[in-house]
Structure 1
Amino acid sequence: MPRGILLTSDLPQLQNLIKRDPVGYKEEFLQQWNHYNSIRQIFQTNPDEQAKHFRELISFIAQVAPCYPKETKDFPAQLSNLLLDGNAVLSPDLRKNLVQNLVMLRNKNAITSIELLRTLFPLLPRTTSSTLRASIRSTILSDIRNANTPHKNHKLNRAVQAMLFGMVEKGMEAEVVGDKGKAKAIKPSHDGLASNGEEAMWAVVLTTELWKKGIWNDSNSVSIIALGCFHPVVKVQSASIHFFLGSEDDNEEDSDDDDIPDVKALQHRREVKKKTRSGDKKIEKTKKAIKKKKHRKAETITANFPALQILNDPQSFAEKLYESLNKHDKRFSLPHKILLMQLMSRVTGAHKLSVLPFYTYILKYLTYHQLQITSILVALAQSVHDLTPPDCLSPVIRKLAAEFVHPGVGSEVISAGLNAIREVCRRQPWAMEEDLLGDLVEYRKSRDKGVTAAARGLLQLYREVNPGMLKRRERGKEASKAIGAGTQPLPFGHSLKPAEDIEDLVLLEDHLRALRREEGVASGAGGEDEDDWKGWDVESDSSEDSSDGESWIDVDSDGEEAFEVSDSEDEKEKEKKREREEKMDVDEDDREKEEGSSAARVSSLATTKILTPADFALLNDLRRQAASSAVESGTGGKAAKRKLAALEKSKSTAASQGNLDSAFISELDIIGPRKKSKADYAERIASIEKGREGREKYGSMKGKKKKETPSSSTNREKARNKPIMMIMGSGKVRGKKKASLRDKQVKLRRHIEKGKKAHH
């Protein structure tokens, strides 16, 4: 048989030979290439004809394409067109084969990442196979991750972000027709194709995944998801909002973790049932899956800053959120409206924005019987800041007091209302009215623990921020002293103090000065200056050095007098500098002693040194140490304790959230402390069973352990030891009292005869 016929009938053998000698087998390859083009034309008219042979030819050409780049330059584009244009008529096997070959061409550097991703992105919403969809998703994520390792590939990132932005923007002009946000039909978009938001959903999911893995952390990726918050499909909106809120979305299709079974349950079942090899393999596979899941979580990198901080134009973003909330109030379901409220409140509080119509809109939801009222109260409190006008908040405070704080509701409702009012007034104290405050703080005399704690929290807040609104007997010792000294609360819009210094920066300055002194003592006088000037000494211009070719070269000064610097003059300058610094340190120490604690010292460290993140971390540690010392010595009072608690709380928060966590609250802050509810039947039984653990079976141990010969007591012993009052009403005792003389004689005779038999 001729070689050509033999090779054309065995494609794997030809593939192996071509990889070894591409030049020698070029004719055989061209023969197969022409055969591929012929079948491809037939396939476009009749996809079912020779489908298996067509897959084999595609795999063969994809394997050897790098050997003939000129001849196969159009091959990747042909595969891409087959996938995108004929996706509906392709069989699942052929579709999978095309995707695998495109990925292989990318791995062989036959195509670029952008060319591959331009094909894979449109396939995600079109494919119906969950396996292929998961494969495409993992391929996209891994390709972008590899392209950004170890350095960022800005060109690829911009191109991919533009594609994702277009996927979200594609359906923005469509309208959703449905009830409560459920899309029944969508009008065609500008390109004439109907879409249910799948493309936008995948764009949001992929961007979120890349953000969580730390691959993308710029404003462009945030802008993609910010656009998704206004998409007409509610599912896309929900996923985008959950990204900004930092919570997991129920609609996200990443449910692989739920499919992993429990290892302990499998091992227990393994011990009970029949042992087989398949069972062992299943347990090992489960262990590997759990290990891989933990490794994947460990690799997840937290972003350096929250997405809320790098929003583009947050004021317009918050206003659009309110417009969407107000416009679709009838169409959106309550949980989705609460999501919009929470996101808008976080953006408003983080950037100190003003969306004043929101406080009028939220009034209709402030009733104690409203569903999910605690989430609504959290959104209300988070939207308030020190620049929110008090006039807009006063109706909100009055509505909260009228609906939640009165004797006609339960104690839990009252405590929630008081806590909500306290959180709003903590951010804007001028929203409270004096008469209303006096009525609210009277609830501190309540018998309920939660109500008392909430009212005392409100009282303590106004003792700190504006004690003049309280009655004289309610102000407390410290607040009364402050009012007596003439201290007045700051009006609305005024800051506590001008931005002239960083808080407690003097601690860092003193710490660095102490370290400098210790280093100077350890290295001797002038040690720091010697280190600073090391390598900067000017060489002497002697005759010995001038003859050397590596010495300084004299430059003609055109008649001017030459400038010379000697070592002796250099030493004098260093000595003078050292004396000046020592004098400045002594003068500064004397000035600090004279000032004492009467006036606050302004640090000049920020104007002389660029503060690094390590410096701020050290400053936070110094703040905690100073607060702890003040608490231990008792000089700071309750204020020092509160400051120490706040610093410890800020230490435990994640670094990725920055300073935004202090502005966010949870539902537990609104509910407040509650007394323990009465246990139900299941809880009581569980408590009883827990008390029986570690002891023997319950019952009397008198006859089993307290006798020399362990045995149980008889019924006669039990009857003899019974209390008299327990047997007074028994039939046996009453029968003795009612017995006749004849019965007593018969009983006595039996007793005598029985005694005689016992003696014999």
Structure 2
Amino acid sequence: MGRGILITSNLPQLQNLIKRDPTAYKEEFLQQWNHYNSIRQIFKINPDEQAHHFRELVAFISQVATCYPIETIDFPHHLSSLLLESYGTLSPDTRKTLVQNLVTLRNKDVISSIELLKCLFPILPRTTSPTLRSFIRKTILSDIRTANLRSKNHKLNRAVQTMLFGMVGRGMDGDVVGDKGNLRLSNNQTNDRAAHNSEEAMWAVILTKELWRKRIWTDAKSVSIVSLGCFHPVTKVQSASIHFFLENEGKEDSDDDSGEELNIRALHHRRDINKKTRSGDKKMQKKLNTAKKKLHNKTDTSTNFPALQLLNDPQTFAEKLYDILNHYDKRFSLDHKIILMQLLSRVMGAHKLCVLGFYTYIVKYLAHRQLRVPSILVALAQSVHDLTPPDAVAPVIRKLAQEFVHPGVGSEVIAAGLNAIREVCRRQPWSIDDDLLGDLVEYRKSRDKTVIAAARSLLQLYREVNPGMLRKRERGKDASMGLSSGAQPLPFGHSGEAMVDIEGLTLLEDHLQRLRDEDGVTIYENDEGDAIWEGWDVESDATDESESESEGWINVEDNDDALNITDSEDESDKPLVTQNPDNVPESRVSMLATTKILTPADFALLNDLRIQAARKIVENGGGSHAKRKLATLEINKKSHQPNQLLGDSFVSENDILGPRKKAKSNYAERMASIQKGREGREKYKSNKGKMNKDTPSSSTNREKARNKPIMMILSSGAVKGKKRASLREKQRKLRVHIEKAKKARH
């Protein structure tokens, strides 16, 4: 009996024995289970009483719950209800214990992921402990990532996305406070409820962004959660949601949840000052290899689809953004209004939308003394596209010319104004009149290089897109010859002739014909069928796959008479189609697309062939137009998005400011320049010291003096001379030291 009492009082020992033989120790477990139920009733009334013993019992039952599933069937519900109902009255240690044991039950498959997340999501905004909050966040992310590791867990994803939608939507009916001042609410209860709703929405946006960055969620539903947060009345939630769309689409976080990057310089410094051992060298090399691997993964990976392209109803989204920007203009700070402008302009440029009120709104911010005016000019340029009415953009162009391009401002202001006008006119060439264009082009005769470059770029643009708006002496030879031959740009709203060919398709046809002649086989015949699409398939939903499998193939008769070829507007959205193929006479039209289904691999090969043809033209002296075309093709190949609308619509502040004086280099740039200068040299270090000399020698007296004992140096003449030095001599030496330090810095 004494041993039985000892076993029941020692819970870790009893836990070990139960895991070995659950049947033999069932009575002891039931005794502890009854004890747990009695303490739980007391704990609900007074959480401070027997809290330590209650935590021990909870941890014990969590470990052995799999041994007695029938008896502990209600145990997870006890923990979750206690957390959700009495979270505010529990001590921090009890909260942490309950959360950890819920995670333990999930790891032992006692509860499902949905049951765990239904408990963790509500308590995440209420948690004030940074340690517990970080633990809950990592648990949520890791659980969702594990569930979607091998295949998409659509049931879990839909349940979690529904919860996140609810967390964001609960605070949408609040008042817009803004970030220029706090709007006082009616009472403290309403204030507390609004703060809780804002924290819920903030965590929903944060978790969705993390899952998107880690490529766990890449569907339109996750984008819809963040897009809903863009209209949240709390500025903090709205700003976090907007930055999700403004971030670089190719950027991806590493798999490390800590988010900390290895500092290579710190590793080398720590290695220099620590003791040199072989194990230390191996550890440092392992860390360096890990850092290089993470850096390589960051630079090589990219998301499947940009978030902007997955927006549901972009026109309504853009109009709501403009309404918020215009209606609450006085409540938002300039920084917040700028990010709203940038998101609105990116949506307009990416989807070719028309929100005409935006151009009237942005006019009041177009002044050279306006703070952060380059960002505002970037937003203006990104919002314009070829479907934007010129009448809506023309007043903006005139405002830019009046405010930025006149002799009363500096050269940088003039260059920024000309560059902004150029970027707007690049997207809509009909938004400027002939007289204003002629006046702006005259700035190419300025004395400042930045102004000259900006004016020449504007002149070169109109030589290509619409040379008829330039004076005859400014058109150039190629543009004048084109006008004399009758070539005229189409007016706004007009489309060209029917598309008859894919640009450069004849290059692909000739290439395949050469392969057939060399191998003596037909390239189009492929027994494997789907092998040519390997690596190019787009992930689809399970429902779509089931529908496609059920429908099967449709037999179509090979009858040329039944074909109906039309040039109506319904077929104007064909990809990669142009009127003038590369380096091929206009009379020749390739029929390859009518005899073969072009795969993504064929289009990649077609892009390579176009690059090779353009490179040959450049080598044979093709001129600046051929060089620009080659650069465009190479950029499209690197980005793997040859037809992506986002690439042409995004503008940076450097495009507006133009070329300026070389900025001060940072450490990485200086080291890269140093390494470039060392190429082709055998030795980089100085010959000072016996190890680096051609002829070995002993160390110098100065090097020996560094290792002398301090008592030997105190009686030397140099030290005594310093003590006897006058104030004037000390000042002179200090001045020499300061001058040397200044020269070393420069």
The reply to whether TM is greater than 0.5 is yes
Mapping of residues 219-234 of structure 1, within 5 Å = 219-234=220-235
In structure 2, the residue matched to 1:629 is 616
Deviation at 1:20, TM superposition (A): 2.0
Structure 1 pair 134–499 and aligned structure 2 pair: CA distance change class (3 A): farther
Structure 1 residue 653, shift from structure 2 partner = 3.2
- 232-241 or 385-394: bigger deviation: 232-241
Unaligned runs of 5+ in 1: 535-594, 680-686, 698-760
How big is the shift at 1:514? 2.4
The aligned amino acid for 1:673 is P
Given the two structures, how large is their TM-score scaled by the length of structure 2?
0.75
Question: Can you list the C-alpha shifts for 1:335-387, whole angstroms capped at 9, x where unaligned?
Answer: 11110111111110010000000000000000011111111101100100000
Deviations 1:678-730 (A, max 9, x none): 99xxxxxxx9xxx9x99999xxxxxxxxxxxxxxxxxxxxxxxxxxxxxxxxx
Aligned mates of 1:45, 1:18 — CA distance in 2: 31
Structure-1 residue corresponding to 2:126: 126
Post-superposition offset of 1:176: 4.2
User: Is the contact made by 2:400 and 2:417 (CA closer than 8 Å) also made in structure 1?
Assistant: yes
- Could you say if the C-alpha distance between residues 295 and 134 of structure 1 is closer, same or farther in structure 2, counting changes exceeding 3 Å? farther
* Matching of residue 438 in structure 1 with residue 438 in structure 2: yes
Change (3 A) 1:75 1:652: same
| Residue 665, structure 1, aligned to residue 651, structure 2 | yes
Query: Does the 8 Å contact 2:524/2:596 carry over to 1?
Result: no
Instruction: Quote the Cα distance in structure 1 between the aligned partners of 2:346 and 2:113.
Output: 37
Distance 1:528 1:247 in 2: 40
Tell me, in whole angstroms, the C-alpha distance in 2 between the residues paired with 1:528 and 1:605. 12
Distance in 2 (alpha carbons) for counterparts of 1:238 and 1:501: 45
Task: Quickly say closer, same or farther: Cα 1:31–1:660, change in 2 above 3 A.
Answer: same
Q: How far apart, CA to CA, are the structure 2 residues paired with 1:408 and 1:195?
A: 53
Asked if 1:311 corresponds to 2:338, the answer is no
CA distance in 1, matches of 2:512, 2:526: 17
CA distance in 1, matches of 2:394, 2:120: 54
Post-superposition CA distance 1:111-149 (Å, at most 9, x none) = 001001111111221111111111111111111111011
User: What residue in structure 2 maps to residue 682 of structure 1?
Assistant: none
- Residue 41 (structure 2) aligns with: 41
Query: After superposition, where does 1:528-543 map in structure 2 within 5 Å?
Result: none
Which residue identity is paired with 2:612?
Q
Q: Partner residue of 1:169?
A: 169
**What TM-score, normalized by structure 1, do the two folds share?**
0.74
Relative distance call for 1:696 and 1:236 in structure 2 (3 A) is same
Corresponding residue of 2:636: 650
Pick closer, same or farther for the CA change 1:353–1:132 going to 2, 3 Å: same
Distance in 1, matches of 2:663 and 2:528, equals 73
Distance in 2 (CA, whole Å) between partners of 1:347 and 1:333 is 22
SS at match of 1:415: helix
Deviation at 1:230? 0.8
CA contact (8 A) 2:84 2:123 kept: yes
For residue 65 of structure 1, report the CA deviation from its aligned partner.
Answer: 0.8
Deviation at 1:446, TM superposition (A): 0.7
Max Rg structure: 1
The whole-number CA distance in structure 2 between the counterparts of 1:288 and 1:145 is 26
Aligned-partner residue type, residue 218 of structure 1: D
Amino acid at match of 1:649: I
Is 1:674 equivalent to 2:628 in the alignment? no
Aligned CA distance change for structure 1 residues 246 and 611 (closer, same or farther; 3 Å): farther
The answer to whether structure 1 residue 369 and structure 2 residue 334 are counterparts is: no
Q: In the aligned structure 1, how far is the partner of 2:8 from the partner of 2:331? A: 64
Pairing of 1:328-339 with structure 2 (within 5 A): 328-339=328-339
Task: Give ranges in structure 2 of 5+ residues lacking alignment.
Answer: 530-581, 666-672, 678-683, 689-746
Which whole-Å CA distance do the structure 1 matches of 2:607 and 2:357 have between them? 39
Going from structure 1 to structure 2, the CA distance change for 1:349 and 1:601 (only over 3 Å counts) comes to farther
SS in 1 for 2:488: coil
Q: Distance in 2 between matches of 1:678 and 1:611?
A: 49
* Cα distance in 2 for residues equivalent to 1:53 and 1:379: 61
Partner of 1:599: 586
Residue 241 of structure 2 corresponds to 240
- Residues 1:298 and 1:498: Cα distance change in structure 2 (over 3 Å): same
Q: 1:260: Cα distance to partner?
A: 7.0
Q: Which residue of 2 aligns with 1:609?
A: 596
Shift of 1:510: 2.4
CA contact 1:213–1:299 (8 Å) conserved in 2 = no
Q: 1:380 to 1:132 in 2, by over 3 A?
A: same
How far does the alpha carbon of each residue in 1:6-26 deviate from its partner, in whole angstroms, 9 at most, with x for none? 332121222122222222222
Q: Residue 224 of structure 1 aligns to which amino acid in structure 2?
A: I
Change (3 A) 1:39 1:461: same
- The answer as to whether partners of 1:181 and 1:331 remain within 8 angstroms in 2 is yes
Task: List per-residue Cα deviations over 1:66-93 (Å, max 9, x = no partner).
Answer: 1111211111111111112111121221
Q: 1:627 to 1:14 in 2, by over 3 A?
A: same
- Give the structure 1 partner of residue 51 of structure 2: 51
CA gap of 1:258–1:477, structure 2 versus 1, over 3 A, is same
- Report the alpha carbon displacement of residue 174 of structure 1 after superposing the two structures with TM: 1.2
Do the aligned partners of 2:178 and 2:332 also contact (CA within 8 Å) in 1? no
- 1:218-263, Cα deviation, whole Å (9 max, x unpaired): 0000000000111111111111111101159xxx9x9997977856
Shift of 1:401: 0.5
CA contact (8 A) 1:196 1:233 kept: no
Deviation at 1:615, TM superposition (A): 2.0
What is the correspondence of 1:482-631 to structure 2 with a 5 Å cutoff? 482-520=482-520, 598-631=585-618
- String of CA shifts for 1:546-565, please: whole Å, max 9, x gaps: xxxxxxxxxxxxxxxxxxxx
Partner of 2:352: 352
**In 1, Cα distance between the equivalents of 2:2 and 2:225?**
60
